[in-house]
A and B are shown apart, each in its own frame.
Chain A
Amino acid sequence: MAISKDWFSTTPFQGISIFTAEYYEHIYVSCQRILIAFGIATGLGVPLGLFMGWSRSIRDYIFPVIEVLRPIPILAWVPLSILLLPGFEGPVIFLATLASFFVTTLNAMLGVDSIDEEYFRAAGCLGSSRWDVFKNVVVPGALPFIFTGLQISIGVAWFSLVAAEMVSGDLGLGYLIVDAYMNNVTVPMVIAMITLGFIGYFSSACVRALGDKLMGWHVKELAQQGR
């Protein structure tokens, strides 16, 4: 009750409402960080995962490295990232990128693994070069897996971002939660959480929509099966 009263009032008792500029500043900062982190993670992770799925030798070199780094909890990277990267933005974005990157890479690689051998054989029969196979079989074939991975990875990115903001940020929704806690005001805390829920849903929905657009064939195939 108190939450909705404050959230939607022009003079919020505990400082944050949809009418205060501060609210939007925090949202904007967090979203901007997510876009950068997700963008870098996807831009690096998808090609790397695809190459790892496609080439045995690339996988043999890189997969062990990733599998050793992946289990390290993101928050364990906080001190190192603060030491190595300048300012506040650097570490926060780095942590979100890292988490997202591992999920994306792994899913892209597994996506290639999931492609039926017969498609590779058919492409071979039809006279494809290795590059043709990559463009026409590997990339489209792995897309369903990749987009499943992206939905997970954007959630993971948010998770890491908020955690990082709590620890080392100066703005952002994660920071807002911690700041509210420090100042003993619970309403902004809850407002921030609910806001995160909505934004998270919205960003996942965007990824899904993009996936459906790029994979019209998959959507139609599922529709035929009654899904």
Chain B
Amino acid sequence: MKEESMAKNTSKTEKKGALSIKNVTKIYDPTGVNVMAVDNCSMEIAGGEVCMIVGPSGCGKTTLLNAIAGFHSITEGSIHLDGELLCGPERPKAEQSAERMVVFQHGALFPWKTLQENVAYGPTVQKALSPSQAMEKSGQMLAEAGLGNFVKKFPGEVSSGMARRAEIVRALINNPKVLLLDEPYRAMDALTKQIMHESLLETYDRTGVTIFFITHDLEEAIFLGDKVHIVTTRPCQLKKTVEVKIPRPRSYETQSSEKFRKLLVEVNDAVHEEAVKAFKAGEREMA
């Protein structure tokens, strides 16, 4: 309870979780041939903002997310979180931390733990809560997310929509500054996606966490985001930023509004050019 009101205060007063990506370049060397995945990419993400990264497949957006999360190093440039250095020239790889929680594309709930155990895992290993306290809080948060009846089930037993929601709860229980989502709803059907969007929006309205969301679904980007950053085909550079000035809370009806349609056209024009380029170059997604 205390944490909830604290989070609300945070979202209204001091917005934490501001990411500053400056001139980041990443060069891979997977098969002995240098591949530049990201080239001199810069973007500023304000604390508490929902930032959508849109671009064609294989353009390097995941590389950027991996750099923020600390899964990969960067070759040049720097990334700061709330003024503190995450990775830069002296430290090419950020440390993994619960401050920057990731929700993975194919879902990475541990299949051998129940939903409740999965969510309780973070606070337990960080010693932030005792195991029993963590389990209790986990059960509570899962119930709030509408998964109260499934807490004792394994991920293999529930639908992908439920699993994804549980994974988001698993991330949020650690009070992260930034939530990093790598095309989390990519493999879902359109109807489940709609429900997932509404669920995420509701969660965002409640917690105010900064969201860094990669997608190639333009409607999703505009519906969820405060800003849509359109990136070029590989190597990844920021091409255009579109601000989505649609007030919150947003609902399903927003998608048929005039404003929404106009934004969609604007974003589509910018992305389409890049999509054609990517297609011609025969880009392949790098994991």
Question: A: which residues have CB within 8 A of B?
Answer: 116-119, 121-129, 132, 136-137, 140-141, 143, 215-218, 220-221, 224
Contact = CB atoms under 8 A, between A and B. Distances in A.
A126 B113 CA distance: 15
A40 B241 CA distance: 63
A28 B94 CA distance: 60
A62 to B, nearest CB: 26
- B contact face: mostly helix, strand, loop, or mixed: loop
B104 A118 contact: yes
Interface string B105-134: 010101111000000011001100000000
B110 A119 contact: yes
23 contacts: A116-B108, A118-B104, A121-B69, A121-B71, A125-B97, A126-B98, A126-B101, A126-B174, A127-B97, A127-B98, A127-B125, A136-B110, A140-B112, A143-B112, A215-B112, A217-B111, A218-B112, A218-B156, A220-B156, A221-B154, A221-B156, A221-B157, A224-B157
Given A125-B69, A126-B98, A127-B174, 10 more contacts: A118-B104, A119-B108, A121-B71, A121-B96, A121-B104, A127-B122, A128-B125, A129-B125, A221-B111, A221-B156
Interface of B: 69-71, 96-98, 100-102, 104, 106, 108, 110-113, 121-122, 125-126, 154-157, 170-171, 174, 287
Given A127-B125, A220-B157, A122 B102 contact: yes
A217 B156 contact: yes
A126 B121 contact: yes
A187 to B, nearest CB: 49
- A contact face: mostly helix, strand, loop, or mixed: helix
A125 B111 contact: no
From B111, B154, B174, name the one whose CB has the most chain A CB atoms within 10 angstroms.
Answer: B111
A124 B96 contact: yes
B125 A121 contact: no
Nearest to A143: B112
Given A127-B122, A140-B110, A215-B112, A224 B156 contact: yes
B17 to A, nearest CB: 15
B156 A126 contact: no
A193 B97 CA distance: 59
B100 A125 contact: yes
Contacts of A123: 110, 121
Contacts of A125: 69, 96-98, 100-102, 171
A105 to B, nearest CB: 22
Nearest to B174: A126
A10 B202 CA distance: 79
Given A127-B98, A127-B125, A128-B125, A122 B157 contact: no
Contact of A118 (B96, B97, B101, B106): B106
A72 B182 CA distance: 48
A36 B102 CA distance: 46
A121 B156 contact: no
Contacts of A217: 111-113, 154-156
A118 B62 CA distance: 13
Given A221-B156, A224-B157, A121 B98 contact: no
Contacts of B96: 121, 124-125
A41 B189 CA distance: 48
B108 to A, nearest CB: 4
A132 B122 CA distance: 11
A122 B108 CA distance: 7
A124 B174 CA distance: 13
Contacts of B97: 125, 127
A136 B157 contact: no
A210 B235 CA distance: 51
B110 A137 contact: yes
A118 B66 CA distance: 11
